[in-house]
Amino acid sequence: MSIHIPILIIISPLLAAFLVLLTRKYKIVLATGSIIISIVFTLTLSSRVLSSDKITYHLGGWRGPLGISLVIDGLSFFFSLIALGLGLLVIIYSIPEKRYGRTYYFLLLVSLSSMIGVIYTADIFNMYVFYELLSLTMYLLIAYPKTGVTLRASFNYLIMGGVGLSFFLLGVGFLYAMTGTLDIFHIAEKLPAVFNSSTRMVLMSFVLIATGMGIKIAVFPLHGWLPDAHSMAPSPVSALLSGVTVKIGIYCLIRVVYTVFSAEMFFLINSHNILMVLGVVSLLFGASMALAQKDLKRLLAYSTINQLGIVLIGLGIGTELGLTGALFHILNHAIMKSTLFFCAGIMIAETGTREVQGLNGFGRQQPVITFAFIIASLGMIGIPPINGFTSKWLICLAAVEAGYVVLVAIILMASAIAAAYYFRVIQVLLSVPLKQDPMSGHEGEQMIHRGNLFRSWPIYILAAGCLLLGLLPTLGISLVKPAVSFLLSHAAP
Amino acid sequence: MNPVNISLLVFMIGLYGVMSKNNLIKKIMGLTIMNGSIVLFFISIGYRKGGLAPILEKGTTGGIPTTIFVDPLPQALMLTAIVIGISVTALALAMIVKIYSKYKTLDIQQLSKER
Amino acid sequence: MGSSKIIRTIVQKLFPFIMLFGFYLISHGHLSPGGGFQGGVVLGTAIILLALSHGIEQTEKKFKSRWLNMLEKLGILTLIFLGFLGIFFGWSFLGNFLPLGKPGEIASGGLMLPFSIAIGIKVAAGVSAIFYALIKYRGEI
């Protein structure tokens, strides 16, 4: 039975999703149980994967390029842990909300299953299919409260996501035309021979795939869907979107660049320079736009564009330090941004307003949640005892080592702008309200006692994770090491 | 004027439709045209000169055929891609119905002005 | 939303043949062009044709939307169950465990036929359910 674990990790949330639609009483038990089963299965594979071994599983018994295989190596394992861990916390966070019916848990479970499907598959068309499934569930989850703003935001995301994935599919088509196979590792074997004969088609497919993934990652020119979608969604869905779904796009980009097109080609066509430039522009754009926002969740959404710019800079540098920093920053940003969105959800539910100015006096009512918010935002800025500092520091070191000193200045400037807008929010949180509003105090008391346990424990766990990874940076780097070593064993820049 | 160039041309037409039309339904039409052009691209890749349809006749064993068949793999892939295109289109149309019932307009410039 | 008497009569006469064609496509999926999805869409189209010509209320009396939703869920659960049977019999997930017959017969190809039937039923139910959901909104706008 243990040989079938890779497919069981994908099937367990999917099966639970369809069983959730049949029952009403057991939906939460099924949801959390299936994700816990998947996490347990993933952890049992950890010993084999961390010793730099690759686990392959052939669906249907068809080997090689004939069938679809699942491959779990350091990179997939790392991303799947992030996705499953955050998925479990999102489900726990959405337990006390009575408005979420069976459809919500169904969509959450299908989206988590398709995330793991994208991460584990070794067949590039299967990656497209699972990614479309993930995007479909995300469009529905954003539009779950069927108000006008959420529908418009979700429709915007649908159009841009559909276009992006069409670009990706066209790139896959070019790859198939050149090599005749769809398995990632077989394409990697056959591609160098093709590259010498028809360079332009390889470049065309790379550009198409990179553009398609760029739309899903929301780099600067293609980011238009992100502020609306991430801010108008319900809070647990926002945490899942910002924390994991954009990272799946980065995973696909890394997988295609480092495994399919080997890293030599990546450096040969100067795309690492383009990636760094795009990262810098996203960084500054996200920081400046976040400074001007009055809505709390929109501010956090632009901050996501900011941090993903840093990840792209790290990826563009391409050395071992740069890759370690970028992957570690993906983990850190997932934890920190989820903490921030969970706290924002509680703040919006209790004060009734989405504006930053309306959060007056929240710090006095709920000191622990405010403390978690402060820890996570300090990490986003990059202040030492919190994990965000470690990953930004690694990327700055990699930039200096590779000779791009200007990048360090730009990252520091963007961190200063991030400090400006996060401290503005913290200042409002910690301030005393001008006049005592009797109604808000009364409602605040009620909401504190109602279902607060399920909402606050994920926040405590995530904030503790921020502190832990910050105080013990070697723990985080040892998680990232297998992924980086796998990427670099294929690369020789 | 081979099918690959034509499919890329149709892809660009669909992309133009998505980007520059204001009506929401025309954007969905553009997305559908893009999906159709990708189907055309894949199928035209699988073509072999003088090939037959990839169906084994009754009575033949599973031996290696001496005739040329067109590539059946892109056809199977495109079935999946068509299904995905239908699902996205169905979801988008359902959202358009809801948006129209709330805002009474389908023009994206007017919708973006709403607050 | 009914149509004229001619269309209603012809649709009533054609409906069994369209269903038969759909089942033919599903069951001959591994022998000729067709398969689960195509046959399922033809079956769903037959139900949509009924709804367009006879009106949605009358069609819903015969093909209840609750049955269609239940068929859809049962279809996917059957698919996952067939996959697990593959594990149970010693192969991998979705591995073939039924005997391969002679190529050219309907009962050949192992797991393909039950798979196609499950997919066909699910797709038919799904397409009809989408149509019902979209049409029923006409009253609310």
Nearest-angstrom CA–CA distance, C123 and C76: 10
Domain count, chain B: 1
CB–CB contact A11 C77 (8 Å): no
Contact A10, A37 (CB under 8 A): no
Q: Please tell me the distance from the alpha carbon of residue A370 to that of residue A363, in angstroms, as a whole number.
A: 6
Our CA-based measurement puts residue A221 at a distance from the nearest CA of chain C, in whole angstroms, of 35
Would you say residue B23 has pLDDT above 60?
Answer: yes
Q: Measured between beta carbons, which residues in chain B are less than 8 angstroms from residue C141?
A: 97, 100-101
Give whichever of B34-38, B70-74, C80-84, C109-113 has the largest mean pLDDT.
B34-38
Asked if residue A64 belongs to a domain, the reply is no
On the CB side of C18, CA atoms within 13 Å amount to 18
B62 touches chain C (CB under 8 A): yes
Cα A289 to Cα A76: distance, rounded to the nearest angstrom: 33
Confidence at residue A447, expressed as pLDDT on a 0 to 100 scale: 47
Indicate whether B58 belongs to any domain. no
Contacting subunits of C (3+ beta carbon pairs below 8 A): A, B
In a domain, B21, yes or no: yes
Contact A59/C at CB under 8 A: yes
**Neighbouring chains of A at 3+ CB pairs within 8 Å?**
B, C
| Closest residue by Cα to residue C53 from C62, B98, C125 | C62
Phi, psi at residue B52, to the nearest 5°?
-95, 170
Amino acid A209 reads I
User: In chain B, what residues touch C44 (CB-CB under 8 Å)?
Assistant: none
Domain presence at residue A400: yes
**Do B37 and A167 touch, CB atoms closer than 8 A?**
no
Residues 87-126 of C with CB under 8 A from A: 87, 91-96
- DSSP letters for C76-128: HHHHHHHHHHHHHTTS-TT---SPP--BTBSS-STTHHHHHHHHHHHHHHHHH
B10 occurs within a structural domain: yes
Evaluate whether residue B89 is within a structural domain. Answer: yes
From the CA of C100, how many Å to the nearest CA of chain A? 15
Instruction: Check residue A448 and give its pLDDT.
Output: 47
Query: Per the structure block, which two tokens stand in for C129?
Result: 């359910």
* CA nearest neighbour of A380 among A472, A457, A462: A462
Write out pLDDT tens, residues A395-422.
999 999 888 888 899 999 999 999 999 9
> What is the residue whose two structure tokens read 């584990």?
A120
pTM for the model stands at 0.93
- Predicted pLDDT at A260: 84
Residues 6+ apart with CB under 8 A from C55: C1, C2
For residue B50, the distance in angstroms to the closest alpha carbon of chain C comes to 19
C-alpha to C-alpha distances, A470 to A334, A392, A463, A465, B15, nearest whole angstrom: 14, 12, 11, 8, 45
Check CB contact under 8 Å for C94 and A59: yes
* Residue B60 predicted with pLDDT over 70: no
Interface check for A61 against chain C (CB to CB < 8 A): the answer is: yes
Helix, strand, coil shares, percent, chain C, to 5 = 70, 0, 25
pLDDT in tens, C28-73: 888 788 888 999 999 999 999 988 888 888 888 888 888 888 898 8
Task: Tell me how far CA of residue A150 lies from CA of A238, A293, B26, in angstroms.
Answer: 12, 19, 21
Is B56 contained in some domain? no
A15 and chain C: CB distance < 8 Å anywhere? yes
- State the Cα torsion A77-A82-A84-A90 to the nearest 10°: 180
Q: Assess if residue B54 is contained within a domain.
A: no
Alpha helices (H) in A94-147, listed in sequence order: 102-120, 124-142
CATH number at B97 reads 1.10.287.3510
Q: How confident is the model at residue B57 (pLDDT cuts 50, 70, 90)?
A: low
Task: Supply the pLDDT for residue B115.
Answer: 66
Substitution target in B28, B97, B102, B106 with the highest count of C β-carbons within 10 Å is: B97
Indicate if the alpha-carbon torsion angle A157, A315, A122, C77 is positive or negative. Answer: negative
The pLDDT of residue A169 is 95
Tell me the CA distances in angstroms from C72 to A130, A204, C77, one per residue in order. 20, 41, 9
By CA distance, what is C41's nearest residue in B? Answer: B83
- Beta pairing partners, A475: none
Q: Could C103 and B100 be called an inter-chain contact, meaning their C-beta atoms sit closer than 8 Å? A: no
CA distance B58 to chain C (A): 5
Residues in chain A: 493
Interchain CB distance below 8 Å, A154 and B11: no
Q: Is residue B61 part of a domain?
A: no
Average confidence score pLDDT of chain B: 87
Query: Which residue segment(s) compose the domain that B33 sits in?
Result: 3-48+68-113
Taking CA–CA distances from C31, the nearest residue in chain B reads B55
pLDDT of residue B62: 52
Kindly report the nearest CA distance between residue C6 and chain B, in angstroms: 31
Interface mutation target, options C134, C135, C136, C138, chain B, most CBs of B under 10 Å: C134
Report which DSSP code applies to A60.
Answer: G
Count up the domains in chain A and report the number. Answer: 1
**Quick one: closest CA in A to C110, which residue?**
A60
Handedness of CA A216, A222, A220, A277 (dihedral sign): positive
Chain A contact set for B96 (CB, 8 A):
155
Domain holding A374, by residue range, is: 270-493
In this complex, the residue of B18, B81, B95 whose CB is nearest that of residue A143 is B95
B98 Cα to chain C: minimum distance (Å): 9
In a domain, A331, yes or no: yes
Residue A226: inside a domain: no
Angle A88-A91-A96 (CA atoms, 0-180°, nearest 5)?
A: 140
For residues C84-113, average pLDDT:
73
Contact A343, A376 (CB under 8 A): yes
Is B94 within 8 Å of C35 when comparing Cβ atoms?
Answer: no
Q: Do C77 and A18 touch (CB under 8 A)?
A: yes
ipTM: 0.94
pLDDT at A117: 93
Nearest CA in chain C to B57: C104
Q: Which residue of A has its CA nearest to B77?
A: A125
Q: B82-89: which pairs have CB atoms within 8 A and are 24 or more residues apart?
A: B82/B35, B82/B39, B83/C37, B84/A129, B84/A132, B85/B32, B85/B35, B85/B36, B87/A132, B87/A136, B88/A132, B88/A136, B88/A158, B88/A162, B88/B31, B89/B28, B89/B31, B89/B32
Indicate the Cα dihedral angle A161, A162, A164, A165, nearest 10°.
Answer: 110
Query: Helices C112-136 and B73-103, interaxial angle, to 10°?
Result: 20
SS3 breakdown of chain A: % helix, strand, coil, rounded to 5? 80, 5, 15
User: What's the maximum distance between 2 C-alpha atoms anywhere in chain C?
Assistant: 58
CB A382 within 8 A of CB A392: yes
pLDDT at site A442: 47
pLDDT in tens, C103-130: 666 777 778 888 899 999 999 999 998 8
Q: Residue B105 phi/psi, 5° resolution?
A: -145, 155
Q: Is B97 in the C-facing interface, judged by CB distances under 8 Å?
A: yes
DSSP state of B67: S
pLDDT, position A358: 80
Name the minimum distance, in Å, from the CA of C91 to any CA of chain B.
Answer: 23
The low-confidence residues of chain A, meaning pLDDT below 50, are 438-439, 441-450, 492-493
pLDDT digits (tens, 9 = 90+) for A244-256: 999 999 999 999 8
End-to-end CA distance of chain B: 48
* A29 part of a folded domain: no
Look at residue B44 and tell me if it is in a domain.
yes
